[in-house]
Amino acid sequence: MDPLKALTDAERKPYWLDSTAKPEPQARLFGNTTADLAVVGGGFSGLWTALMAKERDPSLDVVLLEGRRIGWAASGRNGGFAMATLTHGIANGLERWPEEISTLEHMGLRNLDEIGETVTRYGIDCGYERTGELHVATEPWQLEEMHESAQVARELGVRFDVMDADRVRAEVDSPTYVGGMWERDGCAMLDPARLAWGLRQACLDLGVRIYERTPVRSVKDVPAGLDLLTPYGTVKAARVALGTGVFQPLLRRLKHFLVPVYDYALMTEPLSAEQLASVGWHNRQGVGDAANQFHYYRLTQDNRILWGGYDAVYYNGGKIKPEYEQRDETFVKLAEHFFTTFPQLSGLRFTHRWGGIIDTCSRFSAFYGQSHGGRLAYAVGYTGMGVGATRFGANVMLDMLSGERTERTELRMVKEKPIPFPPEPIRSAGIQMTRWSIARADLNQGRRNLWLRTLDRMGLGFDS
């Protein structure tokens, strides 16, 4: 199949956000107001924080301020893999916090259970399916690594089933697979935009005041708390939670720890019954291949395939621009890889193509902190795995703001910060060198060159 032909009619916008379920925006903030808690950011981080603040204490006066529209950014345009992991996978967590990894794995599973319970409790129609994730190997070295990972996971009480090529192909059929591993409990599939809109409605129903198209320009210390300055009004809040993702941070210190990385995805038209039968996929797992430059893919409720990943693009200088959300070169590459993986789907068309920004930090998993005398808390840096973990981060922020010491706040993972990225232009040079080295490793049986090994030793990395 000619990838260009398959892409011809694809709309240049995120599939999930292109939906009739998209609600009308809440009004902007005009004038001044007060709040016990002001949440900045209307992605998953902010929405979970506002919702759980009201669940913890219904009498709390909570305001949420979103600069654009609820869920417009990463939260409404991602792959919709809600993962249990809080550490960007067991291997990363084990390397950084070996004494905590077992606790972190169990906390992550509980967090994912609670996401499922919340979806049911509020009747959020987001296609939530706890199908797990199928990690597929397309090279023998990837399968060897899977056997090692499964062994480690078993020792931590987590079940990963390693499968040979026949068993994997009985699940999802691609001639490129040499084996795989099914992580049955650790992942749920969902429609991320409908989750964000459902959380928004749940917040409104519990009395959270949401202001959209209301960017917070700055945070100012005042005697009774903090003032959040917006274009047409100010919120005077006793406590503030920042769920602002990768955007121009309101706390200057955060910019040393975060880089914006663009990730891209395609959505196909719905598969016919025959096309679906040719792939199998009866258990509807999310799928990810095990290369360093990996693809992730999944079925939607109406049996389209979302196909994303591989290229993780850092634009020099860390620039964020709307035009970066489209990248022809990447879409053609992704389409080619799609038809190599599923040659039986030749003729299938893509209906949507889009990109989004990942808030990448050097430890690949979120970090947390406080400022302004403990009155402001933040959780950022999810590095492409925030659909599930943002709810955990929201709980950390609420724990911190309450002044309580909890099982979460006492974790070393929560107390420590990642290593900052070096300043520009060294930052850009280092990241491009790392991307080049990662691509080389995939061509070289996963073998990491001196540059990657040095970064590994320093605990510094780059990922999407």
- Find the helix packing angle between 101-121 and 192-205, rounded to 10°: 70
The piece of 110-118, 273-281, 319-327, 383-391 that touches ligand FAD (CB under 6 A) is 383-391
Among 3, 16, 51, 75, binds ligand FAD (CB under 6 A): 75
The piece of 59-67, 101-109, 121-129, 453-461 that touches ligand FAD (CB under 6 A) is 59-67
Entry field: residues in the chain: 464
Count of residues near ligand FAD by CB under 6 A: 41
Q: Footprint of ligand FAD on residues 192-231 (CB under 6 A)?
A: 215-216
Cα 61–chain centre separation:
28
User: Is 160 strand, coil or helix?
Assistant: strand
Shortest distance in whole angstroms from residue 79 CB to ligand FAD: 3
CA distances 117 to 104, 236, 270, Å, are 20, 33, 29
Among 65, 94, 235, 279, binds ligand FAD (CB under 6 A): 65
Among 22, 77, 169, 209, binds ligand FAD (CB under 6 A): 77
By CB under 6 A, residue 134 contacts ligand FAD: no
User: Is 385 strand, coil or helix?
Assistant: coil
DSSP 334-367: HHHHHHHH-GGGTT--EEEEEEEEEEE-TTSS-E
Shortest distance in whole angstroms from residue 217 CB to ligand FAD: 7
Shortest distance in whole angstroms from residue 69 CB to ligand FAD: 7
Q: Backbone phi, then psi, for 132, in 5-degree steps? A: 80, 180
Among 29, 52, 66, 455, binds ligand FAD (CB under 6 A): 66
Dig out the tokens for 184 from the structure.
Answer: 């049955």
User: Is 288 strand, coil or helix?
Assistant: strand
Shortest distance in whole angstroms from residue 192 CB to ligand FAD: 7
Q: Please, which residue, 413 or 452, has the CB nearer to ligand FAD?
A: 413
Distance CA 199, CA 202 (A): 5
By CB under 6 A, residue 42 contacts ligand FAD: yes
Among 7, 17, 53, 73, binds ligand FAD (CB under 6 A): 73
By CB under 6 A, residue 357 contacts ligand FAD: yes
Distance CA 418, CA 275 (A): 45
- Residue written as tokens 């060897």? 144
Query: Please, are residues 463 and 162 in contact by the beta-carbon 8 Å criterion?
Result: no
By CB under 6 A, residue 358 contacts ligand FAD: yes
User: Is 257 strand, coil or helix?
Assistant: coil
The piece of 17-25, 102-110, 170-178, 384-392 that touches ligand FAD (CB under 6 A) is 384-392
Distance CA 335, CA 338 (A): 5
10 Å Cβ neighbour count for 343? 13
CA distances 389 to 44, 221, 324, 434, Å, are 9, 30, 26, 26
By CB under 6 A, residue 111 contacts ligand FAD: no
Shortest distance in whole angstroms from residue 438 CB to ligand FAD: 18
Distance CA 114, CA 24 (A): 28
The piece of 75-83, 127-135, 401-409, 454-462 that touches ligand FAD (CB under 6 A) is 75-83
Shortest distance in whole angstroms from residue 274 CB to ligand FAD: 28
Among 40, 60, 101, 291, binds ligand FAD (CB under 6 A): 40
Q: Is 281 exposed, middle or buried (0-12, 13-18, 19+ CB in 10 A)?
A: buried
Among 15, 35, 53, 80, binds ligand FAD (CB under 6 A): 80
* C-alpha dihedral (337, 341, 345, 351), degrees to nearest 10: -40
The alpha carbons of the chain give a radius of gyration, in whole angstroms, of: 21
End-to-end CA distance of the chain: 28
Shortest distance in whole angstroms from residue 75 CB to ligand FAD: 3
The piece of 93-101, 127-135, 238-246, 448-456 that touches ligand FAD (CB under 6 A) is 238-246
Q: Footprint of ligand FAD on residues 283-312 (CB under 6 A)?
A: 308
The piece of 63-71, 110-118, 401-409, 413-421 that touches ligand FAD (CB under 6 A) is 63-71
By CB under 6 A, residue 138 contacts ligand FAD: no
By CB under 6 A, residue 142 contacts ligand FAD: no
Among 108, 132, 243, 260, binds ligand FAD (CB under 6 A): 243
10 Å Cβ neighbour count for 332? 14
Question: Could you list the residues that contact ligand FAD (CB under 6 A)?
Answer: 40-46, 65-68, 72-75, 77-81, 83, 215-216, 243-245, 247, 250, 263, 265, 308, 356-358, 382, 384-388, 390
